[in-house]
Amino acid sequence: MARPSAVSTPSFFARVYAVVRLVPKGKVATYGQIATILEHPRAARTVGWALNGLPAHLAGKVPWHRVINAQGRVSNTANVAEQTRRLRREGIRFDRHGYCDMRRYGWEPPPDLRKRIKL
C-alpha cells in the first residue's frame, strides 16, 4: 500500500493541515468540507489520507480529531476511542450510535477563510 510519508507533505497535504488548524475547539469539520474549501470537492478521501499521515511534529498543532465523516460519526478505525475521547473532552456529545449533532457542532468556515490560507 502506498502510504504518505510521515515527513514529506508538500502541497495538498500541507493545505489540508492549514485548514484543519483553523477548526475551533468544540466544533467539527468533515473530510468533504475540508476538501471543498481547498477547491477539491471530491478529494475527501485524500483529506483523510493526509490526516492519517499527519507528521508527529504537527500533531500538536493540527486538531486532527475535529475532522469526522459527513455522517457525523468518527471514521478513524484505528483511533476511534482516542478521537472520540478528545471530542468529548471539548464538549461534543455522541448518541449511542456514535453520531453527533452536526447542526450544533458543525464548523462554519469564516468568509475570509480563503484569504487566510493560500489556495
Partner DNA sequence: GTTCTGACTAGGA
Partner DNA sequence: CTCCTAGCCAGAA
Closest approach of Cβ 10 to DNA, in Å? 5
Question: Would you say 86 and 48 are in contact if contact means Cβ atoms under 8 Å apart?
Answer: no
Residue from the set 21, 26, 27, 40 that interacts with DNA by CB under 7 A? 40
39: left (phi over 0), alpha (psi -120 to 50) or beta: left
Among 19, 23, 65, 105, binds DNA (CB under 7 A): 65
Instruction: Return the residues of window 7-26 that contact DNA according to CB under 7 A.
Output: 8-13
Task: Decide: helix, strand or coil at residue 29.
Answer: strand
> Measured from the CB atom, is 83 or 112 closer to DNA?
83
Task: Give the DSSP letter of residue 40.
Answer: -
Angle at 70 between CA 66 and CA 75, to 5 degrees: 60
Among 19, 28, 67, 87, binds DNA (CB under 7 A): 67
For residue 42 the three cell numbers come to: 471530491
- Give the footprint of DNA on this chain (CB under 7 A): 1-5, 8-13, 30-33, 40, 42-49, 51-52, 54, 64-65, 67, 69-71, 75-79, 83, 97, 99
